Amino acid sequence: MIDFSQIPSPCYVLEDRLLRKNLELLQYVQQQAGIEIICALKGFSMFSTFPMVRQYLAGATSSSLHEARLAFEEMGSKAHVYSPAYLDKEFDELLSYSSHISFNSLNQFEKFKEKSIANGISCGLRINPQYSEVETDMYNPCIAGSRLGITRNQLGDTLPEGIEGLHSHTLCENDSYTLERTLKAIEERFGDLLKQAKWLNLGGGHLITRADYEPEHLISVLKGLKSRFPNLKIILEPGSAVGWRTGYLTSTVLDIIDSQGINVAILDVSFAAHMPDTLEMPYKPKILGAHQEPVAGKHTYRFGGMTCLAGDFYGDYSFDEPLKIGDSIVFDDMIHYTMVKTTTFNGVNLPSIGIWREDDTFDLVKSFGYESFKDRLS
């Protein structure tokens, strides 16, 4: 439904109507399960949409001082905060933007507990249930040597004085059945402590807005959890689920070359700088109008970015018609974990940011230039 000819290249484009659809589903889960869902800014920080997000979700979760300040200033609410460690020089300011702070270790809690409690912060501990179904080690917080969370053997039979909640995050784009099995592990190891807590934050990684997700099963799982621990307030903090399939990254073919028998199309975007999760996760991004895998007899191209990094490319795609220099290439599902991870490596410019409004008009929200590159340097 989008007229991409109205949109500059390169540009991240969010569709208002798709974001609203996701938010309506998340709000439904909140209401039916009797829980809170807050937006994880590490996955979705497009603050120009926060007025809409705030209509549906209970707030935001942050991983740093800057994210907490963004939530406070642009969403109008204090943040739930978790970081592996906090900086002395930032902590006083962080307190002013926070309602809940989860600590990664007992050392960190002991260091900051007096200031936190004095400022009315609800303090929690991140736990490691030593169970995760995440297959990519880079995203698995339960592997041996993980620095994220406290294992059961490090805690006694009672919660430390001043701790009101527990925080567990071991999912990554998983479904409610994975959550159900994860909760079993959490309850086996930390069930006695859950009975002493006021809240349980189950982190992110709940891909509730994916087409094959079963929200009703999630609701039943959460209701069951609440029936077993009626003292607990339950919090979920997805990021991907908020921005999932809500928009695109537009790009343009700058050149087409023959590289030892492989047709390579060079774009005005970079996989490494503008969509790094495609290389880190990794996953193959979808291109609108293309065959996502090579098809014999079709026109096949390997797409590469404009940085000097040899690995700044991703995959082969086929088209019914040959590509030409100047053609538009549109990547789907490019809103979550993209803008938050962009870099200006090689001095490449950042894509613009825009919104396709519900009245079918395009709003160019922000463009970048030399100053965005220079401001990161000295």
Length of the chain in terms of residues written = 378
At position 220, the amino acid (one-letter code) is S
Beta bridge partners of 352: 11
- Asked whether 319 and 289 are in contact (CB, 8 A), the reply is yes
The pTM for the full model equals: 0.95
Omega cis (within 30) before 215: no
- Asked whether 61 and 79 are in contact (CB, 8 A), the reply is yes
32-48 mean pLDDT: 98
The dihedrals phi and psi of 192, each to the nearest 5 degrees, come to -65, -35
- Asked whether 329 and 253 are in contact (CB, 8 A), the reply is yes
What are 318-351's pLDDT values in tens digits? 999 999 999 999 999 999 999 999 999 999 999 9
64-82 mean pLDDT: 98
pLDDT tier for residue 158 given thresholds of 50, 70 and 90? very high
Residue linked to tokens 């490319």: 313
On the question of pLDDT at 39 being above 90, the answer is yes
The dihedrals phi and psi of 348, each to the nearest 5 degrees, come to -65, 140
Q: Name the strand (E) or helix (H) holding 225.
A: helix 215-228
pLDDT tier for residue 131 given thresholds of 50, 70 and 90? very high
* 230 exposure class (CB count in 10 Å sphere: 0-12, 13-18, 19+): exposed
- Window from 109-118, 139-148, 201-210 with minimum mean pLDDT: 139-148
On the question of pLDDT at 266 being above 90, the answer is yes
Write down the mean pLDDT value for the chain: 97
What angle, 0 to 180 degrees and rounded to 10, lies between the N-to-C axes of helices 176-194 and 215-228? Answer: 10
